[in-house]
A and B are shown apart, each in its own frame.
Chain A
Amino acid sequence: MKITPIIGLEVHVELKTKSKMFCSCSAEHFHVDPNTHTCPTCLGLPGALPVPNKTACEWCIKLGLALGCTPNESSFFERKNYFYPDLAKGYQLTQYEKPFVINGKIKIGDQEVRINRAHMEEDTGKSVHIKDNGQELTLIDYNRCGVPLVEIVSEPDITSAQMAKDYLLKMQQIIRYLGISDADIEKGSMRCEPTVNLKIEDNDQVFYTPLVEIKNVASLTGVQTAIDFEIHRQTEAFKQTGEVKSKTNKNTFGWDADKNQTFLQREKEGSSDYRYFPEPDIPHIEFTKEEIEEIRKTIPELPDGKITRYKKDFSLNDYDANLLTSDIDFSKAYELALGQNPDSTFAKFTANLFIGAIKTHLNESQENLNIDKINSIFFKNLFDAVSKSEISSTVAKQVTIESYQTGKDPVEIAKSKGLIQVSDSAEIEKLAIGVISQNSKAVEDYKKNPASIGFLIGKLMQASKGSANPQLAKEILEKLLK
């Protein structure tokens, strides 16, 4: 029996526009007093008229273009009708027949996941469930209701939980590069609903298990664990019941992160139950070819392009290129430090400092990168000092962090701390003569066994308070002891 998981992902991303999607209320809703950002439109009061946020529409198209999608010539909003208290007007404004963009793709390693569509819609309010004198109550905050939300629907091209996770990370990275959302899964500004079923091949027969959509997954690990759980559950269910996919047996399962298992949540309303119809209060939206090209121009160089360029122009390896481009601000800071037309030695040197010093420092201190603290001249000075053996690479890392913190020239820091390597032969020779005269036993040992020179080098380094260039020290000692 051969089992192939078939996984599609619906990703919802909250855009970080200033105002909501269809009204001018602030879109801020995290740690805000409940129901302080509402108006007749987002409360669904009679007679209120929705007017789409132009920036949100443009960002949806921008994301689509970054994912290789084609914009629809004409788009419109539709009402998705269902009654639930987190959406006061009884329908969600969304796009169904004509989303802003369709047919894109995203590269995950060597594989490709097709994107069916990215459409614009509105978020719902937040519910808090409480118990009051034994009665179950739900408290509703409409601050989030009407916040712009983009839904990105993939084709079911994902074949494992790991690949689903990689897809989400890649999507998150692209969205952050575009600067249209924080795409923070833990904070809920990026949400994901996997749809999972299995293709089972058994003795020349092929079966497909019923589709299951998983809700309430609130972390990256959760997505992975939930998909793996569901693959296992469906395999076992098929062995027991042999039930296969039909038009009517798609189910919605919730994810219980405490028990690490999925549970049947509700029989999902079929799309015909939502009775989609065009929103009569919002005219069609058409972006001209010129406007689309203007939006395209606002897309920065994306991670895949950057990685290729770093490898080609700076001769960086895959690992370094990936680390440097993981975050757009980090890669911007790196490029700023490189200045104009860096050669590959300098680029590699600076890459090591960014990965070995700055990233480590940021991780340890939990600080965010401050690009204003990056000074190209400082990196150049440091590079020159290390090239001339004035500063060791260990010291370079140390002073890079200090320079980042204080805004001082790293070479000056090294000087003021006495960390400059002495590469002055005369001075080292003076120290070497002293070391030889005071360590006659070690000198004898050396004459019998040249490998024991380490002891004398150690003494010399000690005498120089660590500032002597060790390679030069070794050479001078050897010369004197010949």
Chain B
Amino acid sequence: MSDVWEVLLTLLGVLVVFLLFPLVVGQTEHKVMAHMQGRVGPMYAGGFHGWAQLVADGVKFVQKEDVVPAGADRRVFQLAPAVALLPYLVVLVAIPFAPDGGVGEALDAGIFFVLAVMGVGVLGSLMGGWASANKYSLLGGLRTAAQLLAYELPMLLAAASVAMAAGTVSLVGIVDGFEWWWLPWQLVGGVVFFTAGLAELQRPPFDAPVADSEIIFGAYTEYSGLRFALFLLAEYAGIVVLSALTAVLFLGGWHGPYADGLGWLWTLLKTGILAFAVIWLRVTYPRLREDQIQRFAWTTLIPLALAQIALTGIVKVVI
């Protein structure tokens, strides 16, 4: 019976992380944005710095009416938020956070699993964009698809580079093989991976698919209430997953002083810093235009990723 309990406990742990971390990132985003822009934001709910504002927002979302537009494709419209959110929950299972079995499920082809399942989440936005029967939503869906197609390639190439360096496609194996000098060696790949991930999550400055001044809110225009909150949650869960993945692949995950006992803390710290960077970028960079987004992917990121792969190959042959 102990096996069953172990699996259940793992799943429960993943679920708690999945429910908690995106909210923490969301709250951090509110506060960081407020301070970077020299304003305080909501400060009363809960007392200390308005920490309970997020809970209040959640209650507000639940109370709102869940509207499905008359012309919409009802079932696809209602299914879309779940399709957008669930992949990130599944991905969390495979991310190692501590040495010696500190992972939900050690997969043989972990890196492929993670990237494959993350790509599925975009289907949710596409379904929502199409099923809303709204031209702005459709445009948002189109932009989402174009962006995914452009940025999936550099992301995969950068991940392939680090897999080459470690000689394995297992996430656990990659972290185990990490040495400090991988940091400068895989630096370009890391930047490409992180940037492409940002674009895949449609975070600023790559948020043309939800550009509110052009197409209202893209694929999510017609959503309200809990379903809209689920899309928002998917975005924050995406930030957590992307930051954790970048930390594991390029920053050494649990490696650090006293890694045996404090490995999980190092993973958490690196993930947190990257998540902060995601928020920071949102506050500091203006939105790229749609054609700039495409050009950036095809003419900058892909050549960089290919150069990184060449470099990885050369170094790998030499040593």
Are A and B a genuine interacting pair, yes or no? no
> Which residues from chain A sit less than 8 Å from chain B, CB to CB?
none
> Which residues from chain B sit less than 8 Å from chain A, CB to CB?
none
